[in-house]
Each structure stands twice: as structure tokens, then as C-alpha cells.
Copies of this chain bind each other. A is one copy, B any other.
């Protein structure tokens, strides 16, 4: 049992570190890891205890996870307090994260690039030539990415696997 706890803890700590590298705060990532490997929904108190953090911090981390769409409140019958759980299917979880990151990061970037290119196109042709090209290339890259994303978004996890399988097979033939 101590063994199991140790493995859980290692995973939780690691996931927390990864979160930091990804611009997600450590506690939030840890709470996510904890919910992800817990067979049952947990109460705020249990999370508090497991992660050794304050009540307020738990409340904020859960709020954020819910805002991201990867955790949710669960009512347990006959229980007064709220319980929390997280998306358990890995593919769905990453799809949700991808959607959110696209919205927060990619879409605004595309807007900036599009506006910039439009502005640059209005300018005397000699000026800002190089800048125009580079920003256009970046824009094309992001737009291609968004197209691929949109196609994948519509698939269920199994279809995605099949598609990936196809890509890999094609590659093997071609090279």
C-alpha cells in the first residue's frame, strides 16, 4: 500500500512539473493527476489532504480545471459535500485540451498575423517585403495546422487511431 502511494505520488509530482513547463500552474496539474488516477470522485477535503495544500488553493485549482473543461463536479447521493472527477479517457482529455489551447493561443495568433499581412499588403511594395513573406509563411503554417485540427476534432478516438495508422502505413510505402 505504501508502494502504491509512492507510485501515485511520483506520477502526481511529475505531472505537476510538466504542467509548469506548459504554462499550467503546478497545483492545478497535480489536482488533475490525482483525479485522473483516482477510481472515485474526490472531495475538496481529500484533495487538500493528499496534496497538502490549502482549502482556498484547492477551490481555485478546481475552478480552473472546470473552466478548461477537464474536470467536473459530481453529486454523490446522500452526501452534502461536492465531489470532483476528471475526464478519464485520454484521447478525449487531449482533444479538450487541444480545443482550449487553440482558442486561447492559436486563434489570437492567427488574427494578429492576418491583420499584419493585410496591413503590409497595403504598403508601397518595396517596403516590408521580407516581413510580409515571413509573416505570410507563419500564417500559412498555423492555418494548415488549424485545418488538420478541425478534421481530427470531428473523429472519435478510434477513428483517429485508424487515421494515424493509415498515415504510418503510407509513410512506410513511400520511404
Contacts and interface: CB of A to CB of B under 8 A. Distances in A.
Contact of A37 (B1, B39, B135, B166): B135
Interface centre among A105, A119, A120, A167 (most CB of B within 10 A): A167
Interface residues of A, number: 59
A19 to B, nearest CB: 9
A126 B25 CA distance: 34
Interface of A: 1, 3-4, 7-8, 10-11, 14, 18, 20-23, 36-39, 88-91, 94, 104-105, 108-109, 112-113, 116, 119-120, 123, 127-128, 130-131, 134-135, 137-138, 140-141, 144, 147-148, 151, 154-155, 159, 161, 163-164, 166-168, 170-171, 174-175
